[in-house]
Structure 1
Amino acid sequence: MSIPAARQRFALEIQSEPIDLGRAALWIAQEAYPDLEVEEYVAALDEMAAEVQERLPPERYPLRVIKILNHYLFEDLGFRGNREDYYDPRNSFLNEVIDRRTGIPITLSLIYLELARRIDFPMAGVGMPGHFLIRPLFAGAEIFVDPFQQGEILFPEDCQELLSQIYGPGIPFQEHHLRPTPPRLILVRLLNNLKQIYLSRAELEPALAAAERILLLIPESLPHLRDRGLLYYQLGRWQQACQDLKRYLKQAPFHPEINRSDEHLIREIVERLESHLDSC
């Protein structure tokens, strides 16, 4: 089966460090929108950043810069969180978020990060459980920005309260929840969102496409290897399914953090596949 051109470009993009988040996210989108012109959207981000640059004062106090970014994105351009249809796949495609001015926390944060990078204002993504924030990277700047809430500024205790609102007291707040998320893992989270959305709709081919790109980013991830193998199996791609699932079974015992409650089921699937295939 031939590899889509957008997948090949994505694979090349993520080989560079640091990863260009905007371009990588647009290559993800191009697989769903083959006519998408990536450079047009990169230019749109450049233009937005140039407009922000013109508004900046000579002395760039962090809170002042954040206020200007918030006003430009959420008041002038009208970006907003899509609460009406949160699980619409379009919310995870950067071109759609730019065109429609609506998205989910991670894609709105991605746009915010791309503008901040272009104006030399250091910020990083923060992949909290259930929500995505960004934070300025300045000494002593213990504040966070929530693009899904129109750029609301949060303090660590607000983030703790947010986690409690999402999950209740079941997930205790920990300091690592507020650590910066590397660009590679931001893309993993974006693709995992897409994978879960497509799985919930029983759209297996696009779910598989997301799983395959996740493994380009983190090839040693056993949970995602297992998921890809199961998707191959459901789609009748038995040779590939057998290879993934056998590799998963072989490596899982050496990863104590892996929940192996599914091991019996996966072993049964592998045995079934081996009975139908000459070699696996």
Structure 2
Amino acid sequence: MEYFCQEINQPDDQINLAKAALYFAQEEYPTLDVEDYLNALDTMAEEVKERLPETLYPLKIIKTINEYLFKDLKFRGNTSDYYDPDNSYLNQVIDRRTGIPITLAIIYLEIAKRLNFSMVGIGMPGHFIIRPDFEEVGIFVDVFNQGEILFEQDCIQKLSEVYQQPMKLEPHFLEPVSNRQILARMLTNLKYIYINAEKYPKVLRIIELLLIIFPNHPLELRDRGLLYYHLGQWQQATKDLNLYLAMLPTAQDAHAIRELLQKIR
């Protein structure tokens, strides 16, 4: 957690996304060698670079990365076990060559960065995609679906498929997200996977990491307090829940939280 904290505590554009993701993976895989996986990403980028044609333009670079990752290395979206927690640990995604949209996107973004081809993450609701970092570029890449090229209309269709109803594409759905937001989204995925599996010590560890990214985030403090309550750690629960109420005294669940605090007393 110390190395993760060091990586996060710097300006967002200086956060090394792969390093930060591997540092939090060390919480689950303590023997993980971060440098080994960073070297693996370096090697991937070098192999893509050797395949690039002399005349470069965005679609040609994307096509070359796609062919290398999805045809040669056979990376793929894990459609058979989407909620496997290993889909959210970058070391496992690199080893198994399967993952969810956001972890596959990190591998793609890291390769592109090493090629000096700037790309950004796009945190659509329910589905994570990426795009070249140029104004009005108009194209997106769906890494979960073998690097499929999308246009804005395709993004609307993807949203409608995710929510199983016609959706309106709000402009902010296609805005780039920060490195902190990407890491928080990965961790939030894990948080709910572990909650559903009732693995509460792991949920607690994930919340601690989220609070490093966004210190004193009221909802994470509330959830940690509720978790402490569930685990019978009354003092810590009281501290977090009181802090939550101090930050959001008129929250929708404020009455229920006050009742819970009364019960603890």
Match of 1:268 in 2: 259
Pick which of 240-249 and 73-82 moved more: 240-249
**Displacement of 1:170:** 7.2
**Uncovered stretches (5+) of structure 1, i.e. residues with no partner:** 1-6, 255-259, 276-280
Aligned length: 263
**Displacement of 1:235:** 1.6
Match of 1:252 in 2: 248
Identity between Structure 1 and Structure 2 (%): 54
- The alignment's C-alpha RMSD in Å is 1.3
**Displacement of 1:114:** 0.6
**Displacement of 1:112:** 0.4
Superposition map of 1:101-120 within 5 A: 101-120=97-116
Of 149, 152, 175 in structure 1, the residue corresponding to residue 148 of structure 2 is 152
**Displacement of 1:171:** 5.4
Superposition map of 1:134-149 within 5 A: 134-149=130-145
Q: Secondary structure at the match of 1:126?
A: strand
Superposition map of 1:59-78 within 5 A: 59-78=55-74
Which of structure 1's runs of 4+ aligned residues deviate more than 6 A? none
Q: Is the 8 A contact 2:156 2:167 kept in 1?
A: no
Pick which of 129-138 and 261-270 moved more: 261-270
Q: Secondary structure at the match of 1:84?
A: coil
Match of 1:161 in 2: 157
Pick which of 221-230 and 69-78 moved more: 221-230
Match of 1:187 in 2: 183
Distance (whole Å) between structure 2 residues aligned to residue 111 and residue 103 of structure 1? 10
Q: TM-score, normalised by structure 1?
A: 0.91
Q: Secondary structure at the match of 2:31?
A: coil
Structure 2 residue identity aligned to 1:9: Y
Distance (whole Å) between structure 1 residues aligned to residue 256 and residue 61 of structure 2? 53
Match of 1:51 in 2: 47
Distance (whole Å) between structure 2 residues aligned to residue 32 and residue 22 of structure 1? 16
Structure 2 residue identity aligned to 1:27: Y
Q: Secondary structure at the match of 1:32?
A: coil
Of 15, 19, 22 in structure 1, the residue corresponding to residue 15 of structure 2 is 19
Distance (whole Å) between structure 2 residues aligned to residue 170 and residue 194 of structure 1? 28
Distance (whole Å) between structure 1 residues aligned to residue 15 and residue 231 of structure 2? 32
